[in-house]
Structure 1
Amino acid sequence: MRELFYYQDSMIKDFTAKVVRTGVELDGRPYVVLSNTAFYPTGGGQPHDTGYINELKVIDVEKVDEEIRHYIEGELSSLTEEVRGVLDWARRFDHMQQHTGQHILTAAFVELFDFATVSFHLGSDLVTIDLNTEHVTDEQLTLAENRANEIILENLPIETKWVTKEELSHYHLRKDVAVDEDIRLVIIPEFDYNGCGGTHPYSTGLVSSIKIMGTEKMKKNIRVSFVCGKRVLNQLAMRKRVLSDVARQLSVPEESAHEALTKVLHSAKANEKALSEAHDALLEYEAKELLNNNQHPHVAITFQNRTVQTLQKLARFIVSQNNEAMALLVSENEDKLQFVAARGSNVARSMKDVSGAILPLINGKGGGNDSFVQGGGEKSLPAIEVLQLMKNTI
Structure 2
Amino acid sequence: MTTEKLYYQGQYIRDFKTSILKQGKDEKGTYAVLEQTAFYPTGGGQPHDTGTLNGVRVMNVEETDGEIRHYLESPLQEQEEYRGEIDWDRRFDHMQQHAGQHILSAAFEEAFGYKTVSFHLGNKICTIDLEVPRLTDEETIQAEKLANTIILENRPIEAKWVSESELSNYNLRKKLSVTDHIRLVIIPDFDYNGCGGTHPSSTGQVSSIKILDWEKQKKIIRVQFVCGSRVIKQLHEKQKVLQGLTAILNAPQDKMEEAASRVLQQARVLEKTVEELKGRLIEHEAGSLLNQAETIDGRRTIQAHFEDRPITELQQMARTIAATASDTLVLFINETPEKLQIICAKGTGLAFNMNQLLKKVLPAINGKGGGNDSFAQGGGDKLMSPQQVMEELLNSLE
TM-score (normalised: structure 2): 0.89
Q: 2:163 aligns to what?
A: 164
Counterpart position of 1:59: 59
Aligned to 1:121: 120
Deviating above 6 A after TM superposition, structure 1's stretches of 4 or more consecutive aligned residues are none
Looking at structure 2, the residues matched to 140 and 368 of structure 1 have their Cα atoms a distance apart, in angstroms, of: 54
Q: How does 1:237-276 map to 2 (within 5 A)?
A: 237-276=236-275
* Contact in 2 for aligned 1:325/1:344 (Cα 8 Å): yes
Specify the code of the residue in structure 1 equivalent to 2:360.
Answer: A
CA distance in 2, matches of 1:384, 1:106: 68
Hey, what does 1:363 align to over in structure 2?
A: 366
* Residue aligning to 1:9: 10
More deviation, 164-173/138-147: 138-147
CA distance in 1, matches of 2:186, 2:51: 28
Asked if the contact 2:213–2:224 (Cα under 8 Å) also holds between the matched residues in 1, the reply is yes
Which stretch shifts more, 336-345 or 278-287? 336-345
Q: Could you list the per-position Cα deviations for residues 68-100 of structure 1 after superposition, in whole angstroms to 9, with x for gaps in the alignment?
A: 34444566345434x544322211110000001
Show the 5 A alignment for 1:237-316: 237-294=236-293, 295=295, 296-316=299-319
1:324 maps onto 2:327 in alignment: yes
Q: Which residue of 1 aligns with 2:354?
A: 351
Q: 1:73 to 1:318 in 2, by over 3 A?
A: closer
Deviations 1:102-155 (A, max 9, x none): 111222222333332222221111112223334333333333222222222222
Q: Unaligned stretches of 5+ in structure 2?
A: none
> Using a 3 Å threshold, how does the CA distance of structure 1 residues 53 and 352 change in structure 2: closer, same or farther?
closer
d(CA) in 2 for partners of 1:26, 1:388 = 61
Provide the residue aligned with 2:30 in structure 1.
29
Shift of residue 274, structure 1, vs aligned partner: 1.2
State the partner residue of 1:132. Answer: 131
Cα distance change of structure 1 residues 25 and 317 upon mapping to structure 2, 3 Å threshold: same
Unaligned runs of 5+ in 1: none
Decide which moves more: 231-240 or 163-172.
Answer: 163-172
Aligned to 2:223: 224
SS of corresponding position for 1:124: coil
Contact 1:131-1:222 at 8 Å conserved across structures:
yes
Say which is worse superposed, 191-200 or 254-263, in terms of deviation: 254-263
Instruction: Look up the match of 1:91.
Output: 90
Query: Aligned with 1:29: secondary structure?
Result: strand
Matching residue of 2:186: 187
Change (3 A) 1:363 1:13: same
SS at match of 2:171: coil
Q: CA deviation at 1:7?
A: 2.0
Contact 1:30 1:76 in 2 (8 A): no
Superimposed CA distance per residue, residues 11-52 of structure 1 (whole angstroms, 9 cap, x where no aligned partner): 233344x42523222455141412x33322221111122234
Mean alpha-carbon deviation: is it higher for 169-178 or for 134-143?
Answer: 134-143
Choose 252-261 or 381-390, whichever is displaced more.
252-261
Distance 1:301 1:135, change over 3 A: same
State the AA in 2 paired with 1:146: K
Superposition RMSD in Å? 2.6
